[in-house]
Structure 1
């Protein structure tokens, strides 16, 4: 696997140590690196500065201010090349959210609590 830069967007700050612990082997090997944004607005600012580096965005759907769906639509409008893959994450396994995410241009849809084995499998296919 080539180096994959992932931006995790979630208003819950405890996701950072969780991802760093679950992916410590891949991070140590230089296969993956993670950056974290704790709001949609913070993610857009990060993307303005690092757009060409980010290969994948994992975004929570329910956040104060800008939702994950709004963030997704903004990214699809403004970051055409290179176009990062976007996986939307939600605590609600809901068809309406799924349809909004897919129609908004999401590449995948995951539910919380995250199945890290499944996520690692998906990441290995990038």
Structure 2
């Protein structure tokens, strides 16, 4: 199982990586949406991506839209990791191709639950 973590905060990337590695998920990281697209074009396919929304250079929404339009790794599930709770924003993200949302701050258990909703079964 492989995940791409996309967040401009090294603290958040490190935290997510630690949680996922305890679930036996291998992780790669990207610092913004443009970096994520670069990694996706060159790396082996990922099972899922955790993507922050508000980032410099290219936002999470722009990244997901570009990802889906380019057809990069189409089976990959995308979970937005965000503090955004506005319904219009959520609708837009889903229209762009997001599959699920994880609200910050999050717990290990909420991350596990969201992964299960995406059909991602990790080992403990």
TM-score by length of 2: 0.84
For residues 82 and 102 of structure 1, the distance between their equivalents in structure 2, rounded to whole angstroms, comes to 15
Structure 2 counterpart SS, 1:8: strand
Structure 2 counterpart SS, 1:109: strand
For residues 7 and 81 of structure 1, the distance between their equivalents in structure 2, rounded to whole angstroms, comes to 12
Is residue 57 of structure 1 aligned with residue 49 of structure 2? yes
Deviates more, 1:34-43 or 1:87-96: 87-96
Partner of 2:99: 107
Instruction: Note the residue ranges of structure 1 that are not aligned, 5 or more in a row.
Output: none
For residues 113 and 39 of structure 1, the distance between their equivalents in structure 2, rounded to whole angstroms, comes to 19
Is residue 23 of structure 1 aligned with residue 20 of structure 2? yes
TM-score by length of 1: 0.83
For residues 20 and 73 of structure 2, the distance between their equivalents in structure 1, rounded to whole angstroms, comes to 27
Structure 1 counterpart SS, 2:4: strand
Where in structure 1 do 4 or more consecutive aligned residues deviate above 3 Å? none
Is residue 69 of structure 1 aligned with residue 61 of structure 2? yes
Deviation at 1:82, TM superposition (A): 4.0
Instruction: Note the residue ranges of structure 2 that are not aligned, 5 or more in a row.
Output: none
Give the count of matched residue pairs.
Answer: 118
